[in-house]
């Protein structure tokens, strides 16, 4: 028997009520936004923000936007910024930790309504979440990808970059990487070099942090990645042996900084992470100076400030460390991860599983002889540009201002050529409606 209209309506109401209860009490699968938006209060209003940062993820991915807080606060001081989320838990965390204005928008139609009467010009994104397309639809904004790190991982040249009008990158190395590995993409026209604003405070803190009596080796691996081709992490294959060898040598203080997502896809990574933490917690302290330990600060700056040498994987941490000018050792993955040829990976000593028996000797040679220092300092400029504290933040703000000016010029051109009505609507027009657009 076909369902009656009344029965169908009842089922919809039950599903809607059940969904609200699930969202309200946080009974959602990890990574699923709760959709508890401020839509009712936002509909029919406008806002004063020139810049919108769209972050569709849940709290598990907060580390991706957290590293941009300082730069976004500096931008907000000159051009009002709002962070738009799809999850009320994420909103609370960002408001608490960043001090930025944050709005939770559950439905595309709400964003369409507000932007249609607001002066927002620029949208920024810190990842490639598929939900970004809910905001990328608005043709009256300029859209720029910031991402959450610059590295020689092939995932940094994802074809998804083409969805954005521009891509903010650290330095010329990133432009060359995009030009080489992204087909049909004009990297020289669409990449904007801004340096790494995140390094400004890191370098200031490092300059004022006293050195310990023993060299500190920072082991800062990446996670296992979302798929085998991006499995650059070394925690499960290298980690325990690296840490144990350096501690047992008695010559170094060891500081371990795990990636926040370690172990979410491959259990062996989580097991190795736990083993390293437990070992360092129980290992005898060095004869002089601070104890060995695990660093879980939200900010990378304290760990960088304390370290004299970095052991890391192919990741954004390697690029950021270049700013310090100090020695670096980069592991090589065991599995099927694809490694791009790059100046840094060709220069930095490679640590393979077969080399782990001599990891303490390798660290000793790099600290005492540092044979690649001069070339590494040249690479610093190539990868990061001007690393004088404050320079990158200024470049970031100026880049945002240029893109807003480009947007204004383009809107004026289209209005003059096609008429005012063509630029009034923020959206490029969706025939699918709110529910289709946000599923």
DSSP 354-408: GGGGGHHHHHHHHHHT-TTHHHHHHHHHHHHS--STTHHHHHHHHHHHHHHHHHH
CATH code where residue 27 lies: 3.40.50.11720
Task: Examine residue 6 and state whether it is found in any structural domain, yes or no.
Answer: no
Q: Which of 348, 368, 384 is the last residue of a domain?
A: 384
Tell me: do 374 and 403 sit in the same domain.
no
Residues 6+ apart with CB under 8 A from 63: 148, 260, 298
Tell me: do 47 and 179 sit in the same domain.
yes
Q: How far apart are CA 410 and CA 413, in angstroms?
A: 5
Domain that holds residue 162: 18-196+392-438
Q: How many CB atoms lie within 10 A of CB 352?
A: 13
| Beta partners for residue 83, in sequence order | 53, 102
Tell me: do 210 and 350 sit in the same domain.
yes
Tell me: do 187 and 248 sit in the same domain.
no
Tell me: do 423 and 323 sit in the same domain.
no
Tell me: do 227 and 358 sit in the same domain.
yes
> HSE (CB half, 13 Å, CA atoms) of 381?
4
Domain count, the chain: 2
| Region of residue 99 (left: phi > 0; alpha: psi -120 to 50; beta: else) | left
CATH code where residue 369 lies: 3.40.50.2000
* Dihedral (CA of 68, 380, 346, 363) sign: negative
338 three-state secondary structure: coil
181, 218 contact by CB (below 8 A): no
Give the chain's largest Cα–Cα span: 83
Tell me: do 188 and 205 sit in the same domain.
no
Task: Give the containing element (helix H, strand E) for 293.
Answer: strand 293-294
Q: Which of 384, 400, 426 is the last residue of a domain?
A: 384
**Tens digit of pLDDT at every position of the chain (439 positions):** 445 556 555 545 544 454 444 444 444 556 789 999 999 999 999 999 999 999 999 999 999 999 999 999 999 999 999 999 999 999 999 999 999 999 999 999 999 999 999 999 999 999 999 999 999 999 999 999 999 878 777 667 788 999 999 999 999 999 999 998 888 999 999 999 999 999 998 888 998 999 889 999 999 999 999 888 889 999 999 999 999 999 999 999 999 999 999 999 999 999 999 999 999 999 999 988 999 999 998 888 999 999 999 999 999 899 999 999 999 999 999 988 877 778 999 999 999 999 999 999 999 999 999 999 999 999 999 999 999 989 999 999 999 999 999 999 999 999 999 987 665 444 444 433 443 333 3
- Residue 431's pLDDT is 35
Tell me: do 306 and 354 sit in the same domain.
yes
Q: Which of 365, 384, 403 is the last residue of a domain?
A: 384
Task: Examine residue 1 and state whether it is found in any structural domain, yes or no.
Answer: no
Task: Give the containing element (helix H, strand E) for 193.
Answer: strand 191-193
Q: How far apart are CA 132 and CA 416, in angstroms?
A: 30
Task: Examine residue 2 and state whether it is found in any structural domain, yes or no.
Answer: no
CA proximity to 315, closest of 335, 293, 337: 337
Task: Give the containing element (helix H, strand E) for 328.
Answer: strand 328-331
Q: What is the DSSP pairing of strand 101-104 with strand 122-125?
A: unpaired
Tell me: do 97 and 45 sit in the same domain.
yes
Structural tokens at position 274? 């736990």
Tell me: do 47 and 148 sit in the same domain.
yes
Q: How far apart are CA 385 and CA 164, in angstroms?
A: 23
Task: Examine residue 226 and state whether it is found in any structural domain, yes or no.
Answer: yes
Burial code (b: 16+ CB inside 10 Å, e: under 16) for 224-238 equals bbeeeebbbbbbbbb
Task: Examine residue 397 and state whether it is found in any structural domain, yes or no.
Answer: yes
Task: Give the containing element (helix H, strand E) for 347.
Answer: helix 343-347
Q: How far apart are CA 49 and CA 340, in angstroms?
A: 39
* Dihedral (CA of 244, 248, 251, 255) sign: positive
Tell me if the pTM is above 0.75.
Answer: yes
Q: How many CB atoms lie within 10 A of CB 322?
A: 26
Q: How far apart are CA 388 and CA 325, in angstroms?
A: 13
Q: How far apart are CA 321 and CA 312, in angstroms?
A: 10
Backbone angles phi, psi at 130, to 5 degrees: -55, -25
Task: Examine residue 123 and state whether it is found in any structural domain, yes or no.
Answer: yes
Tell me: do 219 and 154 sit in the same domain.
no
* Dihedral (CA of 201, 204, 209, 214) sign: positive
Task: Examine residue 3 and state whether it is found in any structural domain, yes or no.
Answer: no
Task: Examine residue 10 and state whether it is found in any structural domain, yes or no.
Answer: no
Tell me: do 151 and 253 sit in the same domain.
no
């Amino acid at each position: 028997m076909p369902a009656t209209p009344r029965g169908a309506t009842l089922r919809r109401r039950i599903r809607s009520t059940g969904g609200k209860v699930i969202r309200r009490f946080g009974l959602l699968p990890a990574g699923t936004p709760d959709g508890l938006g401020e839509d009712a209060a936002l509909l029919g209003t406008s806002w004063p923000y020139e810049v919108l940062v769209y972050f569709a993820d849940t709290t598990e991915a907060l580390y991706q936007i957290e590293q941009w807080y300082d730069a976004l606060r500096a931008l907000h001081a000159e051009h009002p910024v709002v962070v738009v989320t799809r999850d009320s838990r994420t909103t609370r965390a960002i408001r608490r930790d960043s001090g930025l204005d944050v709005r939770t928008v559950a439905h595309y139609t709400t964003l369409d309504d507000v932007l249609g009467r607001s002066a927002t010009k620029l949208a920024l994104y810190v990842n490639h979440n598929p939900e970004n397309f809910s905001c990328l639809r608005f043709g009256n904004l300029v859209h720029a990808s910031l991402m959450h790190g610059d590295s020689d991982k092939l995932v940094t040249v994802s074809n998804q970059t083409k969805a954005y009008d521009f891509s903010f990158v650290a330095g010329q190395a990133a432009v060359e990487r995009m030009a080489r590995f992204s087909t049909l993409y004009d990297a020289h026209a669409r990449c904007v070099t801004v340096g790494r604003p995140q390094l400004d405070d890191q370098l200031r803190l490092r300059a004022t942090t006293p050195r310990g009596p023993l060299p500190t080796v920072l082991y800062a691996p990446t996670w296992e990645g979302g798929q085998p081709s991006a499995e650059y992490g070394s925690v499960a294959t290298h980690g325990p042996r690296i840490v144990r060898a350096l501690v047992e040598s008695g010559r170094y203080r060891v500081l371990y900084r795990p990636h926040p997502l370690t172990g979410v896809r491959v259990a062996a990574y989580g097991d190795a992470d736990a083993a390293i933490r437990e070992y360092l917690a129980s290992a005898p302290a060095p004869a002089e100076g601070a104890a060995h330990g695990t660093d879980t600060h939200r900010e990378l700056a304290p760990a960088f400030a304390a370290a004299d040498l970095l052991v890391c994987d192919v990741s954004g941490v390697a690029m950021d460390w270049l700013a310090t000018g100090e020695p670096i050792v980069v592991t090589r993955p065991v599995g099927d991860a694809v490694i791009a040829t790059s100046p840094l990976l060709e220069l930095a000593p490679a640590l393979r599983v077969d080399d782990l028996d001599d990891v303490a000797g390798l660290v000793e040679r790099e600290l005492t002889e540092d044979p690649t220092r001069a070339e590494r300092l040249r690479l610093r400029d190539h990868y990061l540009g001007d690393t004088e504290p404050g320079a990158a933040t200024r470049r970031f703000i100026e880049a945002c201002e240029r893109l807003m000016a480009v947007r204004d010029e383009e809107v004026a051109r289209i209005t003059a050529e096609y008429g005012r009505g063509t630029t009034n609507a923020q959206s490029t027009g969706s025939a699918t409606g709110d529910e289709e657009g946000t599923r």
